[in-house]
Amino acid sequence: MKQNKTQEMASAQAYRERGIAYQAKGKYDKALAAFAKAIRLNPKDALAYVLRSAIYRETGEFDKSYADFMEACRLDPKVSAWLDARRKAYLENSTPDKVIADYTEAMRVNPNDPEGHLIRGTAYQKKGDLDKAIADFTEAIRLDPTYVEAYRCRADVYETQDDFVAAISDYTEIIGLEPKDPDVYLVRGVACASIGEPDTAIDDYTVAIRLDPKNPMGYVFRGDAYEAIDEKAKADDDFAQAKKLGYKGP
């Protein structure tokens, strides 16, 4: 029985490799057939789902692509991180108009995909169409209120528009979801300082320093905030600590 299982796994891998070869040659029908056989032999082969998902996206079958993507992530959570890196590479190497066109079509088939809205929103942001970017990020959050990256992206746009109050609200949502992320306290502190609330900023920087005491920027930002309220001795202490940690700025 164990030998049969080993043979099935080996056969599944062989079909997957065959599918990769067909995919590289643009023979998508044969590649899909090979990946289907690989999945039948080994239903837990997350990579086969990822590869088949990519072909479905290329051929415009976005609903099938999404289904395979979700199954791959269910089988192996690492897939999500890998695809996130791939998504970033796609965004960096594609024009905003292409990304917008691709994901507008994808969401015609699957309008309830929060990641699709995030990606298209990022393209709108890159293009400078900030209102549409905010609309997409907002829709991503509506579909998934725990989507931290959507809050981050929307806050970034709000800051670009000098709407620091709205940005602070989004950073607060992120802190509720990820209270041990020091970077969020730093950026919220900067936003608070930008609207003339140095005391609140100091509170955030202090939390950031407690969570990540080796990051010099926490001390730099807090030192700036202390200077803003004429606490020169405390500011000097923070700037000195930042330099001890390697900060090379003024």
**Is-contact 206 214, C-beta < 8 A?**
no
What's the pTM value of the predicted model, to 2 decimals? Answer: 0.69
Integer CA distances (angstroms), 205 to 41, 118, 148, 211, in order: 53, 28, 20, 10
**Is-contact 55 81, C-beta < 8 A?**
no
Backbone φ and ψ of 131, nearest 5°: -65, -40
Q: What is the pLDDT of residues 32-45, one digit of tens each?
A: 999 999 999 999 98
DSSP string for 178-226: -TT-HHHHHHHHHHHHHTT-HHHHHHHHHHHHHH-TT-HHHHHHHHHHH
Which of the pair, 60 or 134, is modelled with greater confidence? 134
Domains and CATH numbers, the chain: 1-76 (1.25.40.10), 94-179 (1.25.40.10), 180-250 (1.25.40.10)
Q: What is the pLDDT of residues 55-99, one digit of tens each?
A: 887 787 877 877 887 788 888 877 767 666 666 677 777 789 988
